[in-house]
Amino acid sequence: MNNKELFEKSLKYVPGGVHSPVRSFKGLHTTPRFVNRGKGAFIWDEEGKDFIDFCMSFGPLIHGHQDPEIKEAIIKALDYGWTFGACEKYSLELAEYIVEKISFIEQIRFVNSGTEAVMTAVRLARGATGRSKIIKFNGCYHGHLDAMLIKAGSGLAGTAEASSKGVTEQQASDTLICELGNLAEVSQVFEEHKGQIAAIFIEPLPANNGLLVQELSFLQGLRDLCTKHNALLVFDEVISGFRIGFGGMAEKTGITPDLVTYGKIIGGGMPVGAVAGPKKFMELLAPIGPVYQAGTLSGNPVAMAAGLVNLKKLTKEAYVQLEQNTVNIVGIMKEWMDKNGFEDYQIVQYGSLFYPISTHNKLTTIKDLPANMGERFYKLFETFLNKGIYLAPNGYEVGFCSLAHGKEVQDELKNRLWK
């Protein structure tokens, strides 16, 4: 079956034909590509066409598809069994490796996704403080839990409303929305809700509504406000953790959060998430503390084995090469775009993340994104797709490079763009 036939069949059995909305080609003038396999920096669809992949499963595949050492670890783990629902050494080995290498983490609890990690962190922050309200920011995404599917209201600072049906007004009222970069607004919200705010949640590198690089002074200001008001600062590093550097943005900025959430890279491409922090907070979790959390498949041995090998391969030299790959890729793309009708675009790059956007304005908040970006992105996406270059099929999603995007892939990118 070709891509169109598969999608038509999928629409019959699956809502919208997809198991996650970011995989849909909604708004695009073409059909989703059904991926058959991946290897290195490439994917192949069911029709046999290959693409240079810059989605990389939305970030986890920092070594590329089917990295041989990670694949070997997965196969070896399968020889022992793929789930136990009991204590095992695999999660312990990964926990020890992470905790020993990241100075501000004393304990870690593995879960099954980034959303689940944030859900646990919200409950943990409320349990630690005895407070109900949290602050999040317009333009940051923290998974699809009710407390985070909230957008800014039309009233004063801190007002909010649900961004999804099925989220109650009560849930929305406990999440206070602020604008990125506006410390005065955050301070005002703390004053208006004295003694009620459990935590600030932020992506220290917001990468789900474009790539919105924040000023260090803003992130430090959030740290200071949380300390002043006895609230927790929670860094959502599901995307940036282990990608920007081993210690993520916390290491990069030198700012210590009270809790951090991880996902994606720590599973080596297998389903995983985690919440981590100092013992004084982590030991509030069940079975020794009053904050309940559980999961049948948490700490899955296959994911743990894959994640451990994945992280051990992330040396200082690997991060240098990863960023150089990205710089080269961005340069190749930008040179072609400037000469082929996309000169109004810039490509924002941070580490191994990049984001093509049809404006030359500095991007720090979602208000900086152009109104017509969807229409412009569709043209760029489909042009690239026809040349065998696969971006995430949504104008708000960032691109990911991997260690597999080396010189041969860069040369192939040049060939595909200019032929």
Active site residues: 141, 236, 264
Segment 28-33 long-range contacts (CB within 8 Å, at least 24 positions apart) = 28/378, 28/381, 28/382, 28/393, 29/378, 29/382, 30/382, 30/385, 31/3, 31/4, 31/7, 32/3, 32/7, 32/393, 33/3, 33/385, 33/390
**Helix, strand or coil for residue 385?**
helix
How far is the C-alpha of 342 from the C-alpha of 358, rounded, in Å? 8
The encoded tokens of residue 364 equal 């720090």
- Which helix (H) or strand (E) segment holds residue 351: the answer is none
- Which helix (H) or strand (E) segment holds residue 15: the answer is none
- Give the list of residues 6+ apart from residue 350 with CB closer than 8 angstroms, or none: 205, 211, 213, 244
Q: CA dist 133 to 68, 125, 164, 172, Å? A: 46, 10, 19, 10
Which amino acid, residue 7? Answer: F
Closest CA to 256 of 247, 264, 265, 269: 247
**36 phi and psi, to 5 degrees?**
-95, -40
The encoded tokens of residue 210 equal 């474009």
Q: Where are the alpha helices (DSSP H) in 79-144?
A: 89-101, 114-129
Q: Are 182 and 158 in contact (CB under 8 A)?
A: no
- Give the list of residues 6+ apart from residue 85 with CB closer than 8 angstroms, or none: 296
How far is the C-alpha of 111 from the C-alpha of 262, rounded, in Å? 10
Task: Give Rg (Cα) of the chain.
Answer: 21
Task: Tally the C-alpha atoms within 13 A of residue 217's C-alpha that lie toward its C-beta.
Answer: 4
User: What one-character DSSP code corresponds to residue 25?
Assistant: -
The encoded tokens of residue 293 equal 């959390």
The encoded tokens of residue 110 equal 């593995």
